[in-house]
Amino acid sequence: MKRTYDLIIIGSGSIGVPAAMVFAENKYSVLILDSLASPGQGQNKTAIGGIRATHSDRGKISVCQRSIEIFSHWKENYRDDIQWQKNGYSFPAYTAEDERLLQDLMKIQKGFGLTITWLSPEEYRELNPGIAMKGLRGSTYSPEDGSASPLLFTQSCYLKAVEHGATFRFNETVTGFRIAHSKISAVKTNKGVYHSACVLNAAGANARAVSQLAGIDTPVNPDSHEAGITEPVRPFMGPMVVDMRAEPGSKNFYFYQNTEGQVVFCLTPDPPIWGIESRSTSVFLPMIATRMIMVMPPLANLKVRRTWRGLYPMTPDGFPIVGKMREPVNFYQAVGMCGQGFMLGPGIAELVYRMITERYAPGDQETLGSFDPYRDFAGQEVFK
Ligand SMILES: Cc1cc2nc3c(=O)[nH]c(=O)nc-3n(C[C@H](O)[C@H](O)[C@H](O)COP(=O)(O)OP(=O)(O)OC[C@H]3O[C@@H](n4cnc5c(N)ncnc54)[C@H](O)[C@@H]3O)c2cc1C
């Protein structure tokens, strides 16, 4: 069995699988190790599939703009249906404060060339006819954003990566590194030892523990979020709805209708629930159902099929950590994707390829500056 590679990727999730595909397509020999039984079985499969470029910082915006290009052309380029739809995102405002925040942010987003407009309540109702009009002050609308299936996308990337020669080893956990002369000389797992020129940490919620194996503390702390999905019904929704208002027990919540007709939904608990607990709770569904029906009353008629709970790999400032470590010098990070790892995935994969092969494109250094592992983490992403 081959034991030496150009690159070893730890984690076959939202980041590791697209990265494996990019490296394999470019003829690099790549080994991907994952503790779980198949690709995308970590947090990737817990994502609800929202994809937007409408962030508040240039780095995340440019990476997600590239991701959207990739997702939206996937079917024509690779022939697999990943359930991409350009349904857009909307942030309806019901308070003066939210309206001001969103309109201020829109100025920044427009400055980055994003297509985003402000709709009056009546214009917004045309897009999302079921929306509650009482107190509605208007809404942002970003028509270029969309959604896709995390499982279908990751599975498709996995098959392309394998087609191009990538090796995946599942049910295999990275347990340590051998480090010599400031370099990782070997990656140890519960089943064997492998060698590579470079090692990429893409271990999601477990990224901190993997970094610690190399003597590095990377500030990624998981917190848990619940989500759910309804039965399929005839299309009746326009863009994803993100309601920014806080209520006791929760901050914002968001939902959209996928290409199968199912409404998929998710809520941000308040206070955050730190840790790796992933069992569904009995409080989530009553809480989010009440909130969803308040903002879109016709949803009361839908039956919920399933709920689940997963982890956001959070960083202190809400920005990913992507970069080359000073020591060991062949160790790279692509971690801390917070609540946006699926949408960032394909764009980050290409960025990581350019970073490791030192074939930088214009703007990469600035993006990598936002994601620098050695930053002070004092800033705050507005839309975590
Ligand atoms: C409810 C919910 C809804 C979400 N909705 C969205 C959304 O709409 N859009 C969006 O973009 N994002 C969303 N997210 C966030 C998204 O799921 C994550 O940001 C993303 O999956 C993180 O990707 P990752 O590759 O870093 O981690 P993962 O996909 O978890 O991959 C990491 C992999 O590393 C493996 N691993 C860890 N340690 C080891 C080890 N020592 N050895 C071997 N393998 C190891 C794990 O088994 C795992 O498979 C959501 C998350 C949740 C919980």
DSSP-based three-state secondary structure for 46: helix
Does residue 91 register a pLDDT over 70? yes
pLDDT over 80 at 192, yes or no = yes
Determine the atom of ligand 1 nearest the C-alpha atom of 17.
25
Mean pLDDT, rounded, of the chain = 96
Pocket test for ligand 1, best of 15, 173, 206 (most atoms within 8 A of CB): 206
In percent, the amount of the chain with pLDDT more than 70 equals 99
As a whole-number percent, the residues of the chain with pLDDT over 90 amount to 97
In the chain the beta strands, taken as DSSP E runs, fall at 4-10, 30-33, 50-51, 89-93, 117-119, 138-142, 146-147, 167-169, 174-180, 183-189, 193-201, 221-232, 240-243, 250-257, 262-269, 304-314, 321-324, 331-335
Tokens of 211: 């970094």
Encoded tokens for 319: 């920005």
pLDDT at 222: 98
| 41 CB within 6 A, ligand 1 | yes
C-beta of 16 in contact with ligand 1 (< 6 A): yes
pLDDT band at 306 (very low <50, low <70, confident <90, very high): very high
**Ligand 1 binding pocket mutation candidate from 312, 332, 333 (most atoms within 8 A of CB):** 312
Mean pLDDT is lowest, of 8-12, 147-151, 250-254, 376-380, for 376-380
Whether the upstream peptide bond of residue 328 has omega within 30° of 0, thus cis, is yes
Give dist(CA 291, CA 51) in Å, integer: 22
CB of residue 340 inside a 6 A radius of ligand 1: yes
Q: Can you tell me the distance from the alpha carbon of 38 to that of 27, in angstroms, rounded to the nearest whole number? A: 23
**For residue 174, which amino acid is it?**
V
Structure tokens at 40: 């995308």
Task: Please tell me the predicted confidence (pLDDT) of residue 382.
Answer: 67
List helix spans (H) across 16-174.
Answer: 16-25, 58-72, 74-78, 96-111, 121-127, 150-163
* pLDDT score for 379: 80
Contact (CB, 8 A) for 331 and 38: no
pTM, two decimal places: 0.97
Confidence at residue 384, expressed as pLDDT on a 0 to 100 scale? 55
Sorted by sequence, the CB contacts under 8 Å of residue 172 that are 6+ apart come out as: 33, 34, 35, 189, 190, 191, 192
SS3 108: helix
DSSP alpha helices (H): ranges in the chain?
16-25, 58-72, 74-78, 96-111, 121-127, 150-163, 207-212, 284-295, 341-357, 364-370
Instruction: With a cut of 70, say whether residue 255 has pLDDT above it.
Output: yes
CA separation for the pair 295, 276 (Å, rounded): 30
Is the pLDDT confidence value at 67 over 70?
A: yes
- Which residue's CA is minimally distant from atom 26 of ligand 1? 204
Given the CA of residue 16, which atom of ligand 1 is nearest to it? 25
pLDDT, position 369: 96
Q: Which atom of ligand 1 is nearest to the CA of 33?
A: 43
* Mutation probe of ligand 1 site: the residue of 14, 54, 147, 262 with most atoms within 8 A of C-beta: 14
Q: Closest ligand 1 atom to the C-alpha of 341?
A: 19
Instruction: Kindly tell me if the per-residue pLDDT of 191 is higher than 80.
Output: yes
Rounded to the nearest whole angstrom, what is the distance from the C-alpha of residue 341 to the centroid of ligand 1?
Answer: 7
The CA 310 to ligand 1 mean position distance, Å, reads: 8
Determine the pLDDT at residue 380: 73
Q: Tell whether ligand 1 has an atom less than 6 A from the beta carbon of residue 257.
A: no
303 secondary structure, DSSP code: P
Average pLDDT over residues 4-14: 98
Spatial distance between the Cα atoms of 36 and 171, rounded to a whole number of angstroms: 5
How far does residue 59's CA lie from ligand 1's centre (Å)?
Answer: 20
Is the pLDDT at 1 greater than 80? The verdict is no
